[in-house]
Amino acid sequence: MLNQCLLYWIHSDLETNIQSQGYVGITKNLKRRLKEHARKKNFLDDRTVDIYLQGETEFCKKIEMELRPTRNIGLNKAAGGGLPPNPFGKKLTKEHKQKIKENMVGFKGRKHSEETKAKMRKAVRKSHPQTEETRNKIRRTVLAKKAEELKKFVDAA
């Protein structure tokens, strides 16, 4: 019972051939898997989900492999016969981590120009306007911290 799996077919009303149309997949948890499919924009819209069979995982993998022997059949991108890879708990090698680091796209190692910094400050002020009362509270807090630091400095001398 622990090794039970479902083979399911997601298709529109116009798609009638399970061997060449729609999406065929296997899962141990259909509710979770359909939520994953729903994250893809319009993937489940106007489509029906049919449970094709329920059985042991290895048998479901075999049938899925027969229905999707190669990549890019129907809506499937991968060939059938395997469970989706689970990346959780896998350790990356140092080489793999280094490759990821090298290919990181972003602002790493560069600095914003003064003009860009001014634009960003202005944008923040527009999106988060502060009342006079708030500005006074901030001012008092900053002054209190400066006075505290000055007092520590004087006491140390």
The pLDDT tens digits along the chain (157 residues) read 568 999 999 999 999 999 999 999 999 999 999 998 888 878 888 999 999 999 999 999 999 999 999 989 999 888 888 776 555 556 788 998 888 887 776 676 778 899 999 998 888 877 777 888 988 999 999 999 989 888 888 887 7
**Which amino acid type is present at position 128?**
H
**Which amino acid type is present at position 89?**
G
SS3 152: helix
Looking at the chain, list the stretches that DSSP marks H as alpha helix, in order from N- to C-terminal side. Answer: 30-38, 57-67, 94-102, 114-127, 132-156
Task: Delimit the domains of the chain by residue range.
Answer: 4-67, 121-157
Distances (CA, A) of 35 to 8, 44, 64: 14, 10, 21
| Total Cβ atoms within 10 A of residue 99 | 11
Strands of the sheet containing 4-11, edge to edge, are 23-27, 4-11, 48-56
Kind and range of the H or E run holding 9: strand 4-11
User: Would you state the structure tokens that stand for residue 50, as one six-digit string?
Assistant: 């049919």
User: Would you state the structure tokens that stand for residue 149, as one six-digit string?
Assistant: 């630091």
Task: Say if pTM beats, i.e. exceeds, 0.85.
Answer: no
